[in-house]
Amino acid sequence: MKKSLFLYLFIVSILMTVFTYMYYDKKVKFEAERFDKLKKTMHDSIQMMNNQVFEANYFTLLNNDNAQNQLDNYSIEKLIEKIERKLMEMNDLPDGNPMVEFIKMNDKKFIINKIKVINHRWVIADFSNGDLWGEVLLQYFVEENEELTFKIIQSTLYTKS
């Protein structure tokens, strides 16, 4: 009786070992397949995001070789920084930024929030006064003494919804 009990226990332990091995083997394969699918999905998502960033940055001075050739005497990064700094400094004026065509409304001045240098001649900027928002397209010129001058081409003010 003692021998048969040990035999049954031995058989049960072997069966449990086999089932446990099969379970973990299938689990590892399942996890590996799931990881590969996730890795492929992430790679596709990253590629899609890179394409979107490339498309969004198509109209920038940094990616426009023809516009950069027009400014070959200047460091493009420094010029962009200088344009942004000059436009942001104009925000400190008491009546708001003069590159925004709109006057103060409710004692709130319009200031430029974001700037994007499109090419060797144009800048687009987002502006607001806290209640109203708009955009302005500016033309800029780099003078011989490296001073910047701006000219408003068009601006728009969004209405409140």
Show the beta-strand stretches assigned E in 8-80: none
Confidence of residue 140 (pLDDT cuts 50, 70, 90): very high
Spatial CA neighbour of 140 closest among 116, 113, 120, 112: 120
pLDDT in tens, 16-67: 999 899 999 899 999 999 999 999 999 999 999 999 988 888 888 888 888 8
Prediction pTM value: 0.69
CB-based contacts of 6, cutoff 8 Å, min separation 6: none
d(CA 14, CA 9): 9
Helix (H) or strand (E) holding 138: strand 133-142
